Structures are given as C-alpha cells and as structure tokens.
C-alpha cells in the first residue's frame, strides 16, 4: 500500500541528495579557487582570534576598502599550531589568505609548540590592535596595591594563588612570572598557578575566592570595573589607558618595570608573492587609519596598535627570540 | 523589582523582535537537528549577519538566544529518529528515544520530548527570572574542588547505567576517559598522546567524537546488515501524536529533571551533556523498577530532554549576572554582546534593562513558539522515517561531514571522525553501549581538569578536596547513590520469591 509513495519519495530524495552533493562540491571548488579573500581564525568560534578576523572582515567591508566579502573560517588546534602548520605546508602561496595571530603565537613559537616551524617561517603582515595585561584581585583582597602583592610573593611565593585562561608557560602565566622574577625576586616555578578554560571561568573563580589573583587582559575587565567586586592592581602598559581604565595605575608607576602588551594581527603564507603581500600591508595600513575602524576597535575593548610590513615581521621574530630567552630565564626551557 | 521584566516584554513583543524570536526558534531547531551543527556553530554563523543587518543589541540577542534554545529542541530529532545525537545535550536522548521509534512510536516520542523540553525550559526561565542573583552567588562558590566532587557524584550516578553488564559499561566509560586525555594538558601545556601531530593538540573534538561514534558506526552497521540480508526499514509510523495521559505519566521525571538541569546549567563549565546525564540516571534509579529504561521508556526520554533545555537556560544565569559564560554557547553569546559594546555582568540589569529584560522575556516567548512549532512538526518529522534508511542515514552523514569540515577546515577532522566511527562499530559489535564512552569523555575530562586545578590551588595538598561543605555533601550523596540500592535490597523484605 505504501510502496508507490515510498518509491516516489526515494526518487525525490535521491535527486535531492545528488543536488546537495553537487552544491557542496561546487562550494569546495570555489573555496579552492580562492576568489574570496579568507581569514583563518586558528581557534573555535567566539574567541579572540575570531574577533580579530571579524574586525578585519567587517572593517574592510564597512570602509569599502574591499568589495568582495571576506570569509572567516575556523581552524582550531594547539592555540594556532594547526593553522601555522597548515599554512606552511599546504597554503604557502595563497595570496588571498591571512591568518589571525597574537602575542600568544610568538610565545608558543618561542616554546617550540608550533612543531618544526620557526617564527620566521611565515610572512608577518601587521598588527592593528592591542590589549594589555592586568593583575586583578577581589574587592576584599588583602592586596591593596601591586606592592602588597609583591611583598606577599617575596615572603612566600606559594602563598599567592594566581589563575587565568592559559596554562603554565602561556602569556597569562608569563605576567605573574614576571612579577615574581623581576619585582619579588623569587623563582616563578615556586608560584601557584591555576589554568582555566578561558578568562571567564578564571574570573568566576576569583569572585568565588578560589584564586587570589587573575592575570587577564584589560579588554576582559570593561564590564567588571565599577562593579565593586574587583580591584585592578596594575595594568601592564607603558602608560595609563583611557576611558573606564583611566583610574588604574600602571605597574611602571608603582615602580616595577613590567609590561605585557598583546598585539593582534595577521600573517600570510611563506611563499606569497611580494605583490600580494604589499597589497595586504597597504590595505591593513589604510584600514587602521580610518575613523570607522577605530570606533569598531574601541567597541571591542581593544587599544590602538600599528605595526605593518617588514617592520612588523622583524618585531615578531625578535619578540619570539626574546620570549625564548625569557622562557630560559624563568625556567621553562 | 521586576520592572525590568515589564520593560522586557515591551521590548520583546515588538513585531520585529517577535519575528526574530520565531526566526531564531526555527533556525535553531534545524541547527540542532543537523548532526555536526550545534548551537555554537549556529550562533557563530548568524552573529555577523545580525551585526551587518544593523539589528539593535536586544534584537540580535533575542535572535541568537532563540537559536540556542531552539537547538536544544532540535537536537532530539535525530537522536530519536536515527540514534544519532543532533548535539551534545542529546546523547542521553538516544537511549530511550530511538527504541521508541523502533517500536513505531516516533511521533509520540517527538511530541513528548517537545512537551518535556517546554516544561524544563519553563522551569528554568522562571528560575532565571526569580533567582538569578542568588544562584549566581551559589555558582561562584563552586570552585575546582567542588566541581571535582560534583564529577565524582556524576560518575556515581552513572553506576545505574551499568545494567546487565557492569564490566562492559565500566570499560566503555574508561575508554571515554582515555580519549579525554588526548591533547595538550591544560595545566602545564604538556602534550599527551599527540604523536607530534599538531592536529591532535586540542584532543578529539566533542562533535567529531559524537558523529564518529554514533553516525559513522550506524552506517557501518547498516552496511553490514544490508550486505547480509538486505536493507530493513524502520517500522511504519503509527500514531503521530502524544497522548495527554502519557505526558502526565512522565510529570515527575519532567519536573525533577527540569529543576536539576537548571541548577546544573547555572554552574559555569558544566553543560547540557552533564545535566541530561545526571537527570537520566536519577530517573532510572527512581523509576526503573521493571527494567524498561533503555528499551523505550517514555520517562527515560522525557528526563534528558527536560534537563538539557533547562540547562541551556540555566547557563544564562552566570552570563547575565556575573559576565561569566556558563557554557560554550554562552561564551559565543558573550562575544556577540561585546560586538554591541555591552559587557554582561552585575551592572547590566541596571544599565541596559532593555537588553537583560528583553532577553529573558524573549526566552518566555521563544519557548512557547518552540512548543507550538514542535508539536505539529512531530508528526511531520516522524514521517522522515518513511524515507528509506539507505537514503536517510548517508544523507545525514553527508551533512555531518560538511559540518565537521566547516568546524575545522581540515580534512584531518574527517579522518579522525572515520577512525572513531570504526572504533564505535567495533565496540557495538562487541556489545558495548556508546553513551558511557561519551559520559566518560565529558565527566573524565572535567574531573581531571578540576582535580588538577584544586591541587594547584592547595599546592599539592589533597585536603582541599574535602574542605568545603558542598564537596562533603556531594561525596556523601555519591556514596549513598552507590550503596542505597544494595542497602534497600537488604533491608526491604522480599515481596517476591525468586
């Protein structure tokens, strides 16, 4: 009784599936042909790299610097390691592909976490935004200033529990390690450090008094400043930041030479032509200078930064070398 | 005090926002129903669209929240119809949902689970409206040590799933824990079982694991069956609608699970998968006197569905009150809010009441919309089973392949999925059930991470693990769960002679 209907349905579905496969294949073809510029966020959707790519894609579209919309795709794995290897191995000459990166990539390159490739394996394009490290405690914490924290660390490095979204050896750990090493003069390996699945979880642990210090980034603090629940002991920038952050002292002001800026930028494959590379450098430079982009950047809680082209390339390679020395210094390598 | 809610309904009931809630609910249902595409991807795909369309913040949030809750509704469909969970929260739904479909009860199963989802979500939304600030305070009291205790409790509650073959369930759970260990160790950054392959640094992705274990192994089983004795189709779909009596029979399961799901959802770091697992195992313990759970018991279907929807809503509590995302999906939502220069947190209710109130009001509306949408659709979707399985399952697999590739932009993810699928096929051939593998993976991973964090806080001293009343209470509950059935069996005079 049901047979004819079922056969009809089967035929319909067969046609539909073939059509879908065809569409999918055409879609793939398009992606391979690369007639759309693409930004790889080397992470899952929603994180900082996603934000960096979107800032670029939306910015280029809004300012009219590029007419074809940019595709944002995701390639999670090893905080960027998978994408770094992928670009070096298979998409090394794709002139329409940029990959989001940050200071974190330089740290991981320094620690050898990006496999066999070095910092100079790719063409660093530029950085158009920055964030700054912060040291945050709960409002009722005994540490009123950075000096209180340093004194406590000096007395007993194990008495302070710090935590953040990164693991031991990550940028977030480096911040407290620098405080231990440079300010308190104690060995960073004696520190207690708890790593969470992202800044949000660590912030929750701080509010619940499970950790004493949260070593996050300034952009994460925008909604918490003024809530009366936390106190930012220091901002790790060379000078005070504006807006809601204007009341927060830098570490420098308090007598400690500790800075931790985090740039957000991009790299391209190693065998991209000079013409393609220069086009992108120019595009990025132009974008970073527009008012529209500056508004978008502020909206995301990020701060100005402008390093492009060969300048930036040198900067990142040097930074990776510096981090390598630092890693040795603090006992990571 | 509830001014923000009145204001919220004002916002949510404008034609634009109503339309967006509807649109989000429908899209979310589809994202949830397609294996490999969950709420996270759905929101990530639509977030830039909402932004480019120039929607105001509250409208964008209403759309995205609709997708989130809709996905929890949709996830059950392929669980019930195909034994392939549509998303993470729907793994437990396969246990009783698919057997029901095999009995020809796909329609009632879809209808019942829609009602269960509705009630679970409603409990949670009311809880969110009334108790959000209070619950936020409780949620931050859960530190790593308390989470570890919670995971021990969850493992203990899993013991009911051991059923007829405790050894195989145990082995399956341990396999899951082992899979969870692959990748960068989150505390120290040490690489574990990665064999120098950067693709394995982040471990085996949850979606890849679910699709591989369930969908790919299902296809392999079907191939084998087809080669042996031709393709057998599902039984004809009988009754399409769920009876009121059936819903009433599940009331206890639905209400309890909705409540539990909400509470677990409010804890940052535990999602719909943990909530539905705890709810299912609790119901099995309370209700499974005849051993019908796992063979198509309506209560076994209602419990995880009520819990996963409640937990999705619960995860808004820490997001809205503390600015801390309670789940992966709310983490993406947090990013969406940042785009609008709104930082959720303690000040949001006073500074941007139209956003907080509008969102909560839209959850009420979206939930009703989803029920109205899903009840009639139950009959329609049940008809999917009339499509021959040799078309349907490969078609779903194709979608899964596309979904997984889109997630990783890397063919390695697809190879991993296939390898996991073969592994799942072998497990099934040896009579292992797959749900304990998933639970071992989720709970084991969380237990390890939180144990390490707790010990990092204490500097290595294990005392921290039983330092708080919450932890001790959870351990006692865990022991009680393990001992109670045995104790009750000893104390209660036997009614029936064996």
Band the pLDDT of B255: cuts 50, 70, 90: very high
CATH number at residue A170: 3.40.190.10
Q: What are phi and psi of A211, to 5 degrees?
A: -120, 160
User: Which residues partner with B296 through β-bridges?
Assistant: none
Give the pairing type, strands A230-235 and A134-138: antiparallel
Percent of chain B residues past pLDDT 70, beyond the cut: 92
Question: Is a pLDDT exceeding 50 seen at residue A91?
Answer: yes
- When divided into structural domains, chain A yields a total of 2
Are B140 and A207 within 8 A, CB to CB?
Answer: yes
> How would you classify residue B163: left for phi > 0, otherwise alpha for psi between -120 and 50, otherwise beta?
left
Question: Is a pLDDT exceeding 60 seen at residue A226?
Answer: yes
Domain boundary among A238, A259, A280: A259
Nearest CA distance, A304 vs chain B (angstrom): 17
Nearest CA in chain A to B268: A201
- pLDDT computed for residue A57 by the predictor: 92
User: Which residues partner with B259 through β-bridges?
Assistant: none
Average pLDDT of chain B, as a whole number? 83
Domain boundary among A216, A239, A259: A259
Which residue has 């918490």 as its token pair? A224
User: Which residues partner with A127 through β-bridges?
Assistant: A265, A307
**pTM of the predicted protein model:** 0.81
List chain A residues with CB under 8 Å of B346.
227-229
Which residue has 């990665």 as its token pair? B194
- pLDDT computed for residue B494 by the predictor: 52
Domain boundary among A240, A259, A278: A259
Percent of chain B residues past pLDDT 90, beyond the cut: 21
**Do B26 and B70 form a contact (C-beta atoms < 8 A)?**
yes
- pLDDT computed for residue B116 by the predictor: 94
> What is the 3-state secondary structure of A6-45?
HHHHHHHHHHHHHHHHHHHHHHHHHHHHCCCCEEEECCCC
The DSSP annotation for B433-454 comes to -SHHHHHHHHHHHHHHHHHHHH
Are B196 and A210 within 8 A, CB to CB?
Answer: no
From the list A21, A200, A299, the residue facing B325 with the nearest CB is A200
* DSSP code of residue A271: T
Q: How far apart are CA B392 and CA A193, in angstroms?
A: 50
For chain B, counts of helices (H) and of strands (E):
22, 2
Helix residue ranges per DSSP H, chain A: 3-33, 48-62, 81-89, 103-110, 146-155, 171-178, 199-207, 218-221, 274-289, 291-299, 309-329
From the list A82, A161, A226, the residue facing B410 with the nearest CB is A82
Query: Taking residues A73-97, what's their average pLDDT?
Result: 87
CB pairs under 8 A between A and B: 186
List chain B residues with CB under 8 Å of A86.
410
Percent of chain A residues past pLDDT 90, beyond the cut: 55
Give the pairing type, strands B183-184 and A261-268: unpaired
Domain assignment present for residue A71? The answer is: yes
Band the pLDDT of A35: cuts 50, 70, 90: low
Residue in B191, B205, B271, B323 to test binding to A, most A beta-carbons within 10 Å? B323
Question: Is a pLDDT exceeding 80 seen at residue A30?
Answer: no
**Do B140 and A208 form a contact (C-beta atoms < 8 A)?**
yes
* A223 and A138 in a common domain: yes
Nearest CA in chain A to B331: A46
Residue-wise pLDDT tens digits, A266-291: 999 999 999 999 999 999 999 999 99
Task: Copy the structure tokens of residue B411.
Answer: 């063919």
* A122 and A140 in a common domain: no
- pLDDT computed for residue A27 by the predictor: 45
**Do B210 and B34 form a contact (C-beta atoms < 8 A)?**
no
Nearest CA in chain A to B235: A2
* DSSP code of residue A126: E
From the list B199, B334, B402, the residue facing A82 with the nearest CB is B199
The DSSP annotation for B159-208 comes to GGGGTT-HHHHHHHHHHHHHHHT-EE-TTT--EES-TT-GGGTT-S-HHH
Give the pairing type, strands A230-235 and A307-308: unpaired
From the list A82, A169, A197, the residue facing B198 with the nearest CB is A82
Higher pLDDT, A21 or B418: B418
Are B453 and A195 within 8 A, CB to CB?
Answer: yes
Are A211 and B52 within 8 A, CB to CB?
Answer: no
- pLDDT computed for residue A115 by the predictor: 78
Find the range with the poorest average confidence among A114-128, A219-233, B152-166.
B152-166
Are A50 and B343 within 8 A, CB to CB?
Answer: no
Q: Which domain holds residue A156?
A: 134-259
**E strand or H helix at A164, and its extent?**
strand A161-164
**Do B36 and B207 form a contact (C-beta atoms < 8 A)?**
yes
Are A168 and B338 within 8 A, CB to CB?
Answer: no
Nearest CA distance, A54 vs chain B (angstrom): 8
**Do A244 and A225 form a contact (C-beta atoms < 8 A)?**
yes
Nearest to A220 by CA among A103, A51, A99: A51
Are A223 and B456 within 8 A, CB to CB?
Answer: no
- pLDDT computed for residue A25 by the predictor: 45
- pLDDT computed for residue A29 by the predictor: 39
Nearest CA in chain B to A201: B324
* A246 and A276 in a common domain: no
From the list A9, A208, A226, the residue facing B140 with the nearest CB is A208
* A281 and A187 in a common domain: no
From the list A74, A196, A211, the residue facing B409 with the nearest CB is A74
Q: What are phi and psi of A329, to 5 degrees?
A: -60, -45
From the list B43, B144, B325, the residue facing A210 with the nearest CB is B144
Task: Copy the structure tokens of residue B389.
Answer: 């399985």
List chain A residues with CB under 8 Å of B380.
none
Are A114 and B457 within 8 A, CB to CB?
Answer: no
Which string of b and e fits A38-50 if b means at least 16 CB within 10 Å?
A: bbbbbbbbbbbbb
Q: What are phi and psi of A104, to 5 degrees?
A: -55, -35
* DSSP code of residue A265: E
Query: Taking residues B87-103, what's their average pLDDT?
Result: 88
Domain assignment present for residue A29? The answer is: no
* A199 and A113 in a common domain: no
Please state, as a whole number, how many other Cβ atoms lie within 10 Å of the Cβ of residue B66.
Answer: 29
Are B387 and A13 within 8 A, CB to CB?
Answer: yes
From the list B44, B142, B387, the residue facing A46 with the nearest CB is B44
Domain assignment present for residue A239? The answer is: yes
Nearest CA distance, B265 vs chain A (angstrom): 14
CATH number at residue A272: 3.40.190.150
List chain A residues with CB under 8 Å of B44.
45-46, 50, 74
Nearest CA in chain B to A73: B409
Give the pairing type, strands A123-132 and A161-164: unpaired
Q: How far apart are CA B79 and CA B442, in angstroms?
A: 18
Residue in A38, A208, A217 to test binding to B, most B beta-carbons within 10 Å? A208
Question: Is a pLDDT exceeding 80 seen at residue B419?
Answer: yes
Q: What are phi and psi of A261, to 5 degrees?
A: -80, 145
* A198 and A152 in a common domain: yes
- pLDDT computed for residue A15 by the predictor: 55
Helix residue ranges per DSSP H, B383-410: 389-408
Nearest CA distance, B366 vs chain A (angstrom): 23
At residue B239, the 3 state secondary structure works out as coil
Are B184 and A167 within 8 A, CB to CB?
Answer: yes
Nearest CA distance, B413 vs chain A (angstrom): 10
Nearest to B283 by CA among B264, B262, B304: B304
Are A167 and B48 within 8 A, CB to CB?
Answer: no
Task: Copy the structure tokens of residue A191.
Answer: 């520190």
Q: How far apart are CA B323 and CA B336, in angstroms?
A: 13
* A183 and A242 in a common domain: yes
Are B335 and A47 within 8 A, CB to CB?
Answer: yes
Q: How far apart are CA B41 and CA B121, in angstroms?
A: 21
Average pLDDT of chain A, as a whole number? 86
Rounded to 10°, the helix A291-299/A48-62 angle is 150
**Do B141 and A208 form a contact (C-beta atoms < 8 A)?**
yes
Are A204 and B139 within 8 A, CB to CB?
Answer: yes
> What is the 3-state secondary structure of A213-261?
EECCEHHHHCCCCCCCCEEEEEECCCCCCCHHHCCCCECCCCCCCCCCE
Nearest to B312 by CA among B273, B281, B283: B273
**Do B134 and B262 form a contact (C-beta atoms < 8 A)?**
no
Q: How far apart are CA B298 and CA B99, in angstroms?
A: 10
Which residue has 């499974």 as its token pair? B288
**Residue extents of the structural domains in chain B:** 3-491
- pLDDT computed for residue B497 by the predictor: 41
Residue in B198, B329, B391, B455 to test binding to A, most A beta-carbons within 10 Å? B198
Band the pLDDT of B309: cuts 50, 70, 90: very high
C-alpha dist (Å) from residue A254 to A232, A234, A246, A250: 13, 8, 15, 7
Query: Taking residues B267-278, what's their average pLDDT?
Result: 82
Query: Taking residues B222-250, what's their average pLDDT?
Result: 76
Nearest to B342 by CA among B17, B56, B6, B133: B56
Nearest CA distance, A275 vs chain B (angstrom): 27
Higher pLDDT, B240 or B364: B364
List chain A residues with CB under 8 Å of B395.
13, 17, 20
Band the pLDDT of A3: cuts 50, 70, 90: very low
Q: How far apart are CA A157 and CA A19, in angstroms?
A: 64
Over the Cα atoms of chain B, what is R_g? 22
Are A223 and B348 within 8 A, CB to CB?
Answer: yes
From the list A75, A194, A209, the residue facing B453 with the nearest CB is A194
Band the pLDDT of B387: cuts 50, 70, 90: confident
The dihedral sign for the CA sequence B127, B128, B133, B135? positive
Residue in B409, B450, B454 to test binding to A, most A beta-carbons within 10 Å? B409
- pLDDT computed for residue A304 by the predictor: 93
Find the range with the poorest average confidence among B148-157, B202-211, B487-496.
B487-496
* A161 and A254 in a common domain: yes
Domain assignment present for residue A21? The answer is: no
Nearest CA distance, B179 vs chain A (angstrom): 16
Are A204 and B324 within 8 A, CB to CB?
Answer: yes
Please state, as a whole number, how many other Cβ atoms lie within 10 Å of the Cβ of residue B285.
Answer: 16
Band the pLDDT of A6: cuts 50, 70, 90: very low
C-alpha dist (Å) from residue A125 to A78, A80, A92, A97, A305: 21, 16, 14, 11, 13
Nearest to A197 by CA among B140, B339, B450, B147: B450
- pLDDT computed for residue A84 by the predictor: 92
From the list B51, B189, B236, the residue facing A168 with the nearest CB is B189
At residue A133, the 3 state secondary structure works out as strand
Higher pLDDT, A286 or B236: A286
- pLDDT computed for residue B159 by the predictor: 72
The dihedral sign for the CA sequence B277, B279, B280, B284? positive
Residue-wise pLDDT tens digits, B213-227: 888 888 888 888 877
Are B456 and A161 within 8 A, CB to CB?
Answer: yes
From the list A9, A21, A229, the residue facing B398 with the nearest CB is A21
Q: How far apart are CA B186 and CA B320, in angstroms?
A: 27
Find the range with the poorest average confidence among A88-92, A158-162, A199-203.
A199-203
List chain B residues with CB under 8 Å of A82.
198-199, 201-202, 410
Nearest CA in chain B to A195: B187
Domain assignment present for residue A194? The answer is: yes
Q: What are phi and psi of A131, to 5 degrees?
A: -135, 165
């Amino acid at each position: 009784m049901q047979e004819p209907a079922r056969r009809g349905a089967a035929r319909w579905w067969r046609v539909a599936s073939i059509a879908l496969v065809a569409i999918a294949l055409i879609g793939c073809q398009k992606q391979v042909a690369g007639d759309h510029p693409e930004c790889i966020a080397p992470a899952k959707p929603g994180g900082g790299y996603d934000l960096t790519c979107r800032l670029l894609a939306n910015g280029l579209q809004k300012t009219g610097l590029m007419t074809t919309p940019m595709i944002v795709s995701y390639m999670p794995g090893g905080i960027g390691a998978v994408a770094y290897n992928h670009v070096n191995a298979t998409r090394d000459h794709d002139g329409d592909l940029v990959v989001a990166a940050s200071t974190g990539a330089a740290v991981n390159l320094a620690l050898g976490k990006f496999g066999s490739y070095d910092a100079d394996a790719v063409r660093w394009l530029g950085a158009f935004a920055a964030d700054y490290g912060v040291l945050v405690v709960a409002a009722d914490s005994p540490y009123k200033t950075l000096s209180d924290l340093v004194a406590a660390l000096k007395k007993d490095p194990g008495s302070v529990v710090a935590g953040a979204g990164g693991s031991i050896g990550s940028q977030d750990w480096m911040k407290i390690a620098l405080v231990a090493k440079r300010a308190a003069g104690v060995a960073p390996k004696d520190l207690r450090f708890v790593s969470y699945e992202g800044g949000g979880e660590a912030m929750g642990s701080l509010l619940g008094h499970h950790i004493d210090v949260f070593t996050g980034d300034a952009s994460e603090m925008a909604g918490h400043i003024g809530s009366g629940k936390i106190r930012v002991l220091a901002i790790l920038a060379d000078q005070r930041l504006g807006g809601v952050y204007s009341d927060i002292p830098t570490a420098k002001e308090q007598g400690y030479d500790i800075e931790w800026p985090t740039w957000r930028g991009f790299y391209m494959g190693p065998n991209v032509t000079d013409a393609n590379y220069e086009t992108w450098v120019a595009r990025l430079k132009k974008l970073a200078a527009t008012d529209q982009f500056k508004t978008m950047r502020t909206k995301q809680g990020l701060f100005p930064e402008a390093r492009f082209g060969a300048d930036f390339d040198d900067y990142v390679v040097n930074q990776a070398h510096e981090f390598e020395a630092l890693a040795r210094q603090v006992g990571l390598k | 005090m509830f001014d923000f809610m009145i204001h919220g309904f004002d916002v949510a009931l404008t034609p634009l926002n109503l339309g967006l809630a509807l649109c989000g609910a429908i899209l979310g249902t589809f994202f949830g129903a397609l294996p490999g595409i969950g709420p996270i991807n759905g929101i990530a795909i639509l977030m830039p669209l909402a932004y480019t369309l120039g929607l105001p913040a509250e409208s964008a949030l209403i759309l995205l929240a609709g997708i989130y809750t809709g996905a929890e509704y949709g996830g059950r469909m392929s669980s019930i119809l195909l034994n392939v969970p549509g998303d993470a929260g729907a793994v437990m739904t396969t246990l009783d949902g698919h057997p029901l479909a095999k009995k020809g009860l796909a329609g009632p199963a879809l209808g019942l689970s829609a009602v269960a989802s509705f009630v679970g979500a409603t409990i949670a939304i009311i809880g969110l409206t009334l108790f959000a600030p209070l619950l936020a305070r409780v949620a931050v009291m859960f530190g790593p040590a308390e989470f570890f205790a919670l995971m021990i409790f969850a493992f203990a509650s899993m013991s009911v799933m051991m059923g007829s073959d405790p050894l195989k369930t145990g082995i399956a759970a341990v396999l899951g824990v082992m899979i969870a260990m692959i990748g960068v160790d989150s505390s120290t950054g040490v690489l574990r079982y990665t064999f120098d392959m950067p693709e394995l640094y982040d471990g085996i992705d949850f979606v890849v694991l679910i699709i591989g274990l369930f969908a790919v192994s299902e296809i392999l089983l079907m191939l084998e069956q087809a080669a042996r004795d031709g393709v057998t189709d599902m039984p004809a779909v009988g009754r399409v609608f769920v009876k009121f009596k059936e819903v009433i029979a599940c009331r206890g399961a639905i209400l309890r699970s909705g409540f539990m799901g909400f509470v677990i959802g409010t804890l940052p770091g535990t999602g719909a998968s943990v909530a539905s697992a705890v709810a299912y195992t609790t119901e099995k313990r309370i209700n499974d006197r005849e051993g019908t759970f796992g063979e198509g018991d309506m209560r076994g279907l209602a419990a995880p569905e009520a819990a996963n929807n409640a937990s999705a809503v619960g995860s808004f509590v820490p997001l809205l009150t503390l600015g801390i995302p309670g789940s992966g999906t709310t983490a993406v939502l947090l990013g969406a809010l940042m785009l609008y220069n709104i930082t959720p947190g303690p000040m949001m209710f006073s500074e941007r009441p139209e956003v907080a109130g509008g969102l909560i009001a839209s959850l009420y509306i979206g939930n009703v919309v989803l029920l109205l949408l899903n009840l009639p659709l139950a009959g329609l979707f049940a008809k999917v089973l009339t499509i021959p399985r040799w078309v349907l399952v490969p078609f779903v697999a194709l979608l899964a392949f596309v979904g997984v590739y889109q997630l990783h932009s890397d063919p390695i993810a697809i190879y991993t999925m296939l390898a996991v699928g073969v592994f799942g096929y072998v497990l099934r051939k040896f009579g292992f059930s797959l749900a304990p593998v998933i639970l071992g993976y989720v709970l084991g991973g969380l237990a390890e991470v939180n144990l390490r964090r707790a010990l990092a806080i204490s500097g290595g001293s294990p005392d921290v693990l039983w330092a708080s009343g919450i932890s001790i209470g959870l351990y006692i509950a865990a022991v009680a769960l393990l001992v109670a059935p045995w104790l009750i069996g000893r104390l209660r005079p036997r009614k029936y002679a064996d």
